[in-house]
Structure 1
Amino acid sequence: MYFMFGTKLRVFNIQTVCICKRMNMGLLSCVVPLLLLCGAAPLEAAPAKSSYLPGTGRFWHITDLHLDPTYHLTPDPTKVCFSSKGVPATNPGVFGDFLCDSPFRLIQSAFDHMATLTKPDDFIIWTGDSPPHVPAGELSTDLVVQVIGNMTETIRQHFPNITVYPALGNHDYWPQDQMPTSTNAVYRAAAELWRPWLQNEALLTLSQGGFYSQLVKPGLRVISLNTILYYGPNKVTENMTDPAGQFEWLEKTLQKAAQSLEKVYIIAHVPVGYLPWARNITAVRGKHNERLVSIFRKHSDVIAGHFYGHTHRDSIMVLLDQQGKPVNSLFVSPAVTPIKSLLEPYSNNPAFRMYLYDTEDFSMQDIWQYFLNLTEANERQSAAWRREYVLREAFGLADLKPLSLLKLGLSFMEQSTAFDSYFKHYMVGYDSSFTCGGACKISQVCAMLYLDQLSYSRCVEKGGRSKRRDSSQGPLFKYFSLCRSHEKGLRVSKLSRL
């Protein structure tokens, strides 16, 4: 895929991609082949089978790849990548920069490492967002489709015998966020690109509305939702109660799964619930969030897990029923891209993860989180992906059932080192000097434990009474205070990085 920038990002050949070189005419042309292997680092050995019990299955989660094919090293830090939007890169290296989206070499290194760990009976969930964070004028429908195609082919090359279950992200459309309610070029292209992984029934609903359902194995079904239909910046659907009829379809699909004695994994890009770094802001529109919470509560006995991306950070949520009983565990995986906006005090190191599940009841058993220390990788010019943590071990959990996660979240309300560890993992080890107390901590914990408006607002109110003043006046407090001061007009601006 050759990319050139003048007034618009253009694609000339899908077979090549990535590191772009500055040319005499001031244009950028990508010249490195798609699957070029260069400077690969020694890889961590695959986990020993004794690390988990018999009867345990595994699957992998990748999200928010955000390929930036313009990324290249140059003496001018404002021209390292188009995704920084002219902001000078801070410390660019061969694997990226925290103000830029992913160079191809970063994505390739993640897949290279994953490929050494996977087994034939694993599967992968891929929760969207392949194109970069660049102005809409630099993109087009054709370009977005070709970037998705490029990432699809890259995944297929690395994992030729493993089924992948994708979900569409808000950047997987042009203009970004504006996912429509009927068939279009992107939905049709995605269905064609993902045909090797999906069956005809799934391909049909994917091409019509961007969502689908498919049986993974006897007793286990994946439902891939198009939550961009409920996303605040999506002007196409803002006045609709059930965009594309997805709510109705979801309820019917969950009912059929129950009748067939199946368990369901919900996958999507934008998560349900509240954003953990802001106050009173749901990830999707409030009215659609309430509907999703209602449906998930109603069918919680069928749903064995929820898996999302979009926020670029690592977080956990617990769905409570209307009586306050924990009924579902939800997980948001951190991104491969390390990008942050200039005003954000922290970012994330690149990451992917593996889930362990019980092959009898499909309940979640554990998470093995992998990451790349981006600063270290750039200094060494070698990508040493490592295991960041094992969730049960990190927090002393007996299991990942909703009750265990509820107890963990409630323990965060008190002064403890457990929340400090959680927040460090939230940033994927970006900078351990950052702490999250007072208002910051209230937002994190309330977003973890309360997904509907009523219970969330009660949590925030209670937290505000118990912590009237924040003893920490550091950058996180200042950033959070800025967010609160613009609450009413915040929704679109707070989502702009995503």
Structure 2
Amino acid sequence: MLSKTLLTSVALFALLAQTTVARPHGRVSRGRQTPSWTGKFLHVTDIHIDPSYLNGSNPDKLCHRISDNTTKNTAGVYGALGTDCDSPVTLVEAAFNFMHKKLQDIDFIIYTGDTARHVCIDAKRRRGQDRDDKLPRTVADVLNSHKTVVDYFYKNFDTKRIKFIPTLGNNDEFIHDQIALGPQPLLANLTALWEPFNLNLGETFANGGYFTQDVLPGKLQVINTNSMYFFADNKLVTDCDVDGSAGGIQLKWIQANLQKARDGKYNAYIMGHVPPNDSKGKMTFYPACYNIYVNLLGEYADVIQGHFTGHTNEDMLTLVVRNHTATSNYSLITLTGKTVPQIDFVANPIVAVLNNAPSVIPVNNPALRVYQYNTKPKLFGKIFDWTQYYADLAAANSNGKVVWQTEYTASKQYGTKGLSTQDYTSLVQKFMAPNSVTWADYVKYLTVGAGPKNKKNG
């Protein structure tokens, strides 16, 4: 139970968020006013803004304090690459400055969460315990981070034209990883903060933090999930085979919306924060949640044209393959970069692919992604390419300026004509070739060219 003081502060914050700035409401719109059959959208994830980040501090102290040993004070003005430090405001502003200047030719934005700075550092610390005992993260800190990042999106994009669709990350709760089923102060505050974006926040969001959002009614809908209800680290919920479980309720909702899409002959994207497999290929969801979820991805692969997550900080692909087991008709194969995949495509054909985008937080070099999708009536929403942007953080800290550049474009780098299951099958076959340069490139891009310095998940 939250204390009366906490509830009061949360209620006051919600009131302030509603009354400080009068903002116009955007309309649901594709945004691009062009007859071209190509649409674009931006994927941003894991900002982890930290207003307490201190330039020239010690990364071992979470970049919050200077060490007496000056050789350890290596935190740069734009971040500390490959450390446990979160994102300085300077880096976040540099990212939004780039988006504002160069990434306006888009139809909508998906933001897959993790706005606030981290709490837990590893499993040895008590759940909910702060990374930095000397600078604990408060409820006000979490809410202020949400408000700050919402303001960045609002001020840098015309949200009447470009729809902004955000989701919850595992560090966006008041207590790390923990969120229960039902109405609560966090969801009430986010409803107020996200109100200017004219989102379809109804009963499912008020009770569970998930909702659907049309990109173009009758053509493409985003099914925006609350992955925390599946996440095994969330001890306020149970596995999805338990009657009345938060995850079980959400899975029925997902299936119902996918069936509506199939019956209505329109396509869907699924977005969430935590992917079902982590960067090591290990299951992140509760077992029953995982099996049911994976089966839905396979059974509705004809409807699901994209699946987008963050959390791992890596540029990662996960294949959904047909594989009859005791618990599911489908399995996931995550391309972790550790070993070259070996797949029998006759026995285990690829039916769908899950895309995990790299993050703004400089666990690796900070990154942003733009997808291209088909807008022809019968193919609306079908993704055929993406462009990965990044900033060389070491160079930025050295030169005092962040320069964003194209890291690669999928079609050019991998030689694909599109991103159909056939294209992905051909790509994985290239990965499997002896001494594959294509596989070496994939492994390099996993960590945005930063190398395997820090493999922690968010």
For 1:318 and 1:395, the matched residues in 2 are separated by 16
Aligned equivalent of 2:417, options 389, 392, 398:
398
For 2:271 and 2:66, the matched residues in 1 are separated by 29
> How much does 1:365 deviate?
1.2
2:112 partner letter: T
Aligned equivalent of 1:417, options 437, 446, 458:
437
For 1:261 and 1:84, the matched residues in 2 are separated by 58
SS in 2 for 1:208: helix
Contact 1:312 1:333 in 2 (8 A): yes
Q: 1:83 to 1:420 in 2, by over 3 A?
A: farther
Match of 2:46 in 1: 64
> How much does 1:144 deviate?
1.5
Pairing of 1:248-267 with structure 2 (within 5 A): 248-267=252-271
Q: Tell me, which stretches of 5 or more residues in structure 1 are unaligned? A: 1-9, 15-48, 340-347, 435-475, 480-493
Contact 1:366 1:390 in 2 (8 A): yes
2:360 partner letter: V
> How much does 1:374 deviate?
0.2
Match of 1:326 in 2: 350
Pairing of 1:225-374 with structure 2 (within 5 A): 225-241=225-241, 242-243=245-246, 245-272=249-276, 274-277=277-280, 281-322=282-323, 324-339=348-363, 348-360=364-376, 361=379, 362-374=381-393
For 1:89 and 1:363, the matched residues in 2 are separated by 48
Contact 1:70 1:80 in 2 (8 A): no
After superposing on structure 2, the runs of 4+ consecutive aligned residues of structure 1 that deviate more than 4 Å are 75-80, 82-90
1:246 partner letter: Q
Structure with greater proportional helix content: 1
For 1:199 and 1:72, the matched residues in 2 are separated by 36
Matched, 1:216 2:236: no
Contact 2:239 2:287 in 1 (8 A): no
Matched, 1:130 2:115: yes
Contact 2:229 2:246 in 1 (8 A): yes
Contact 1:364 1:400 in 2 (8 A): yes
> How much does 1:355 deviate?
0.2
The worse-fitting range, judged by mean Cα deviation, of 191-200 and 108-117 is: 191-200
Matched, 1:109 2:94: yes
For 1:330 and 1:417, the matched residues in 2 are separated by 22
CA shift digits 1:181-238 (9 cap, x unpaired): 11111111112211222444x3432121011001111301001111111112111113
Contact 1:206 1:212 in 2 (8 A): yes
> How much does 1:122 deviate?
1.7
Match of 2:143 in 1: 145
Contact 1:133 1:497 in 2 (8 A): no
Work out the number of aligned pairs and report it: 380
Contact 2:313 2:457 in 1 (8 A): no
For 1:430 and 1:240, the matched residues in 2 are separated by 37
CA shift digits 1:273-320 (9 cap, x unpaired): x33435xx2132333211111111111111111111010000112222
Aligned equivalent of 1:96, options 48, 68, 79:
79
SS in 2 for 1:168: coil
2:93 partner letter: Q
Match of 1:160 in 2: 158
SS in 2 for 1:418: helix
Q: 1 or 2 for the larger relative contact order (CA 8 Å, sep ≥6)?
A: 2
TM-score (norm 1): 0.71
Q: 1:81 to 1:399 in 2, by over 3 A?
A: same
SS in 2 for 1:157: helix
> How much does 1:86 deviate?
12
For 1:430 and 1:398, the matched residues in 2 are separated by 28
Q: 1:299 to 1:69 in 2, by over 3 A?
A: same
For 1:228 and 1:336, the matched residues in 2 are separated by 21
SS in 2 for 1:337: coil
Match of 1:191 in 2: 191
Contact 1:316 1:332 in 2 (8 A): yes
TM-score (norm 2): 0.77
Pairing of 1:461-480 with structure 2 (within 5 A): none
For 2:287 and 2:213, the matched residues in 1 are separated by 28
Contact 1:57 1:356 in 2 (8 A): yes
2:139 partner letter: T
Q: 1:86 to 1:223 in 2, by over 3 A?
A: farther
Match of 1:490 in 2: none
> How much does 1:385 deviate?
0.5
> How much does 1:328 deviate?
1.7
> How much does 1:497 deviate?
4.3
Q: 1:304 to 1:77 in 2, by over 3 A?
A: closer
The worse-fitting range, judged by mean Cα deviation, of 67-76 and 250-259 is: 67-76
Contact 1:79 1:86 in 2 (8 A): no
CA shift digits 1:435-467 (9 cap, x unpaired): xxxxxxxxxxxxxxxxxxxxxxxxxxxxxxxxx
Match of 1:173 in 2: 173
CA RMSD of aligned residues (A): 3.0
For 1:145 and 1:377, the matched residues in 2 are separated by 29
> How much does 1:90 deviate?
7.0
Q: Tell me, which stretches of 5 or more residues in structure 2 are unaligned? A: 1-8, 14-31, 121-128, 131-135, 324-346
> How much does 1:83 deviate?
10
SS in 2 for 1:221: strand
For 2:215 and 2:368, the matched residues in 1 are separated by 21
Contact 1:318 1:402 in 2 (8 A): no
For 1:313 and 1:417, the matched residues in 2 are separated by 19
